[in-house]
Structure 1
């Protein structure tokens, strides 16, 4: 056998071995299914994360406690995954006790805890092994907000590498290309969306809008949707212009809240609610010029909303109270109830994998 054939045979052998190793990598407990973020009761610091396996009608409860023999002490504001690592946002009722817990996303075993954080609200992947965590900072005694910020986290070393100062009440975030767009919670008097260059980790501009921009999502056309008051805004991330403003009806005090997209990102589902009178869930197509809130697809007040793109199923968090376990109700896209799964206290967000 000549030298060239020997080299070729060696290369093929290595390639086949690598493929075989990858294919036979053992499955892990949380490779596929639905994570349910249970917010919990703020004063009791009893938030948790449940996991529903595919085709299961029961949930594995408090998976962090189960895998690490210690609880998450606080309410849970969110869970995101970046390159096989999970990021849990823990908001304790005592200042200085908040945390970002980093786990192996496949086993949920703890990897690291980041403590230099106050009021983490949302986490998102911005690049390989790199995450942004949007934070409020401390809420003052008079319920005013300090300037918010983003913590830039390097997930190769599991540490904060930079802090980007933002507007008061910074909250929702989406990433489009090399830019991140950050809105506000609806309780601040801010009328802007911050635009961040994710390669430099710097605020480069702001988009002026009519009010606080909540619940940012990105549709099939790479357009940003958000809510402010009773209005939906559609924003072009390239021109930084508000392309459309679509108002809901004004006869009630209800306002649009949580926004989620269907699998192909052409339909937006949203809850329409008021704290005293409850609410329902409605939907509209991203090409619609008007939004109707006459006939709901789900006639329930929800604490959480999600859409499973694999199963083509709506998930709604239903909470009897903030002192007893809630449920993940599953619906067809038309609003027909499929079933429900008992989870934990105040199910508010879902992550599908």
Structure 2
């Protein structure tokens, strides 16, 4: 499961300006989903009832199932990630497809619906889509045939090539002609040349890498193991490792959110059968470490609203019906709680 915050910083501009420029230099009103918060509800395995909700904090209005509402058909999949790039919103379903919508009105633009197995995330580079995919399970439920699927064009279509990578690729990050791949199972960062469509470099990192983010102009990857969390930055000019941070956060998960003042909120969990969950707060630039910012059980996703400085923490409620999202002030005080879809796991703040 990917955890959504990569678009937070530039999206703040949309909250400040009421209009945006079109290609002809004119101005057009923002669409009804161009502001507010998108809540990604993963859905339940087997019923494939994943969907996206929209929440307007200014009016406290929650709109359900906006993909089905705007396209007159259900999403019909498990939503793994939401990626906003190139004026398109990509809804990645780990049930084997990618739906592409206009982010302003959520109308369908296109899709990738064949030759995928278990997609995890997506990035765009050189006018192409690069989709991380676990590949099929073998008889032992391992994924030895993981790959990055390449699609020509940004509006979907067919998979033209599958680039072999290490097992269980998660997040992707593109800049220039390069695509960074977080290979979670084998602790690898693989770098793809988008023009050549091949891996040109592989870097070993500590822990299980799952999420890229930018901080102070640098590219970082977050990884974790049972006792620590790790942050590794990279030189973009020569594709080498740069700085490394290790912090003593036990029972960390891959679910993180980028807060203000370089703080990072991390969901922790003891796992089955106790399910003692919490949120730790760390910083990669000083010694800040708050191991028990809040605690509970059933935590499933986390996000941070940079504009309002609020933490959104979701609870899957054991996938028994609707999930819950609780909003906290950055001091940990509860602001409000709302019922959402099944398995809420990610947020996009616009």
Q: Which residue of 1 aligns with 2:190?
A: 194
Residue 11 of structure 1: aligned partner = none
Q: Which residue of 1 aligns with 2:326?
A: 329
The aligned residue for residue 4 of structure 1 is none
Quick one: distance in 2 between partners of 1:260 and 1:70?
Answer: 31
- Range 277-286 or range 147-156, more displaced: 147-156
Equivalents in 2 of 1:312, 1:104: separation in Å? 27
Q: 1:106 aligns with which of 104, 107, 117?
A: 104
Relative contact order, higher structure (CA 8 A, sep 6+)? 2
- Could you tell me how far 1:77 is from its partner in structure 2? 0.5
Alignment of 1:276-287 (within 5 A): 276=272, 277-287=275-285
Please name the residue that 1:347 is paired with.
344
Residue in structure 2 matched with residue 68 of structure 1 by the alignment: 71
Post-superposition offset of 1:35: 1.0
1:248-267 alignment, distance < 5 Å: 248=248, 254-263=251-260, 266-267=262-263
| Higher Rg of the two aligned structures | 1
Residue aligned with 1:147, SS: coil
The change in CA–CA distance for 1:336 and 1:52 in structure 2 (over 3 A counts) is same
| Aligned twin of 1:44 | 47
Q: Would you say how many aligned residue pairs link Structure 1 and Structure 2?
A: 321
The aligned residue for residue 123 of structure 2 is 124
Q: Deviation at 1:30?
A: 1.2
Q: Distance in 2 between the 1:125 and 1:219 partners?
A: 20
Q: Which residue of 2 aligns with 1:315?
A: 312
* 1:64 match: secondary structure: helix
Change (3 A) 1:200 1:279: same
Per the TM alignment, residue 308 of structure 1 is displaced from its structure 2 partner at its CA by 1.8
What does 1:22-37 align with in structure 2 at a 5 Å threshold? Answer: 22-23=26-27, 25-37=28-40
Q: What residue number does 1:137 align with?
A: 135
Deviations 1:305-343 (A, max 9, x none): 111222222111122220211122111222221112321
CA contact (8 A) 1:256 1:272 kept: yes
Distance 1:212 1:284, change over 3 A: closer
Distance in 1 (CA, whole Å) between partners of 2:234 and 2:135 is 27
* Residues 255, 301 of structure 2: 8 Å contact kept: yes
Q: Quick check: 1:219–1:225 contact (8 Å CA) kept in 2?
A: no
Tell me if 1:226 matches 2:225: no
**Counterpart position of 1:214:** 210
After superposition, give the CA deviation of every residue in 1:249-289 in whole Å (9 maximum; x if it has no partner).
56xxx23431221256x111101112223310111122135
Q: CA deviation at 1:71?
A: 0.9
Do the aligned residues in 1 keep the contact of 2:210 with 2:222 (CA within 8 Å)? Answer: yes
The gaps in structure 2 that reach 5 residues or longer are 1-21
Output the CA distance in 1 between the equivalents of 2:332 and 2:178: 35
User: Cα–Cα, structure 1 residues 311 and 122, in superposed 2: closer, same or farther, change >3 Å?
Assistant: same
